[in-house]
Amino acid sequence: MTNEDNNTAEYNSTGNETVGRRTFLAATGAATVTTSLAGCLGGISGGGDDVFRIGHLGPTELEMGRGAERSAQLAVDELNDNGGILGQDVELLSEDTGGAPTEGERVTENLIQQDNVDLLVGTFVSEVTQGIIDFVAEMDVPFLITGSADPDTITENHGEDYDHYKNVFRTGPINSDLQAEGMAGYATYLNEEYGWENFSILADDAAWTTSFRDILPTQIEETDGLSVVHEDRMSVETDNFTPFLDAADSADADVVFRFIAHGGAAAFTSTWAQNEYPFALEGVSVPGMSPEFWDATEGACLYETTSQSGAGGVAPLTERSMDFVDAYEAEYGDEEPPSKPMYMGFNSYDAVLFYAEAAEAADTVDYESDLDAIVDAMLDLEFTGAAGSVSLYGPDSEYPHDVRETRTEDGIISNFPITQWQPDGDDGVVECVYPQADATADHVEPEWL
Amino acid sequence: MIGQLLSILVLGAMISAVYALVAIGFTMIFGVGGVLNLAHGALIMIGAFAYLALTSTAGTISLPPIVGFVLAVAITAGASYVLYAGLVSYIEDNIVITFLATVVVALLVTEVIIIRFGASPSQLIPVVAGSITLEVVGTRIRYVELVAFVVSWIAIGLLWYYVTKTDEGRSILATSMSRRGAELTGVDLETVKSRTWLIAGAFAGIAGVFIGTLQSTAPEMWLNPLALAFIIVVIGGIGSIKGSVVAAYLIGYLETASIEILGPSFQGVLSLIVLAAVLLVLPQGLYGRELVHE
ipTM of the complex: 0.84
Measure in Å the smallest separation between the Cα of A15 and chain B Cα atoms. 30
Nearest alpha carbon to residue A111 among A50, A163, A167, A58: A58
Q: Name the DSSP letter for residue B217.
A: B
What does the pLDDT look like over B238-290, one tens digit per residue? 888 899 999 999 999 999 998 888 887 788 888 889 999 999 998 888 887 54
Residue A440 has pLDDT above 90, yes or no: yes
Residue B268: its pLDDT value, please?
81
Of the pLDDT bands very low, low, confident and very high (cuts 50, 70, 90), residue B121 is confident
Instruction: Count CB neighbours of A222 within 10 A.
Output: 11
Residue B264: its pLDDT value, please?
77
Measure in Å the smallest separation between the Cα of A217 and chain B Cα atoms. 21
A30-39, B20-29, B166-175, B210-219: the lowest-pLDDT one: A30-39
Residue of B142, B216, B265 with shortest CB distance to A267: B216
C-beta separation of A194 from A170 below 8 A: no
Give backbone dihedrals phi and psi of B135, rounded to 5 degrees, phi first: -60, -45
* % residues pLDDT > 70 (chain B): 98
Residues with Cβ within 8 Å of B254's Cβ and at least 6 positions away in sequence, in order, are B270, B271, B274
Nearest alpha carbon to residue A74 among A361, A347, A388: A347
Residue A218 has pLDDT above 80, yes or no: yes
Residue of A275, A297, A300 with shortest CB distance to B140: A275
Residue of B124, B126, B264 with shortest CB distance to A235: B264
In this complex, is the C-beta atom of A275 within 8 Å of any C-beta atom belonging to chain B? yes
Q: Is the pTM of this model over 0.95?
A: no
Secondary structure class of A299 (helix, strand, coil): coil
Residue A47 has pLDDT above 50, yes or no: no
The percent of chain A in helix, strand and coil, each rounded to the nearest 5, is 45, 20, 35
Of the pLDDT bands very low, low, confident and very high (cuts 50, 70, 90), residue A5 is very low
d(CA A128, CA A65): 13
What does the pLDDT look like over B74-94, one tens digit per residue? 999 999 999 999 999 999 999
Q: How far apart are the first and last CA of chain B?
A: 50
Task: Kindly list the residues from chain B whose CB atom is less than 8 angstroms away from the CB atom of residue A240.
Answer: 215, 259, 264, 267
Domains of chain A in sequence order? 52-173+318-403 (3.40.50.2300), 177-308+409-434 (3.40.50.2300)
Q: Is the four-CA dihedral A400, A401, A403, A408 of positive or negative sign?
A: positive
Yes or no, beta carbons of B138 and A250 under 8 Å apart: yes
Instruction: Count CB neighbours of A29 within 10 A.
Output: 11
d(CA B88, CA A411): 68
B-chain residue closest to A1, CA distance:
B115
A33 class by beta-carbon count within 10 Å (0-12 exposed, 13-18 middle, 19+ buried): exposed
Residue B284: its pLDDT value, please?
87
What does the pLDDT look like over A117-131, one tens digit per residue? 999 999 999 999 999
Residue B72 has pLDDT above 80, yes or no: yes
Q: Give the residue from B16, B216, B254, B255 with the most A CB atoms within 10 Å of its CB, the best one to mutate.
A: B216
Residue of B118, B215, B264 with shortest CB distance to A243: B264
Yes or no, beta carbons of A337 and B118 under 8 Å apart: yes
Q: Which amino acid is at A399?
A: Y
d(CA B11, CA B258): 12
In this complex, is the C-beta atom of B147 within 8 Å of any C-beta atom belonging to chain A? no
Residue A15: its pLDDT value, please?
36
Of the pLDDT bands very low, low, confident and very high (cuts 50, 70, 90), residue A9 is very low
Q: Is the four-CA dihedral A56, A57, A60, A62 of positive or negative sign?
A: negative
Give backbone dihedrals phi and psi of B255, rounded to 5 degrees, phi first: -65, -50
d(CA A180, CA A207): 14
Task: Kindly list the residues from chain A whose CB atom is less than 8 angstroms away from the CB atom of residue B118.
Answer: 1, 63, 336-337
Stated as kind and residue range, the H or E segment containing A400 is none
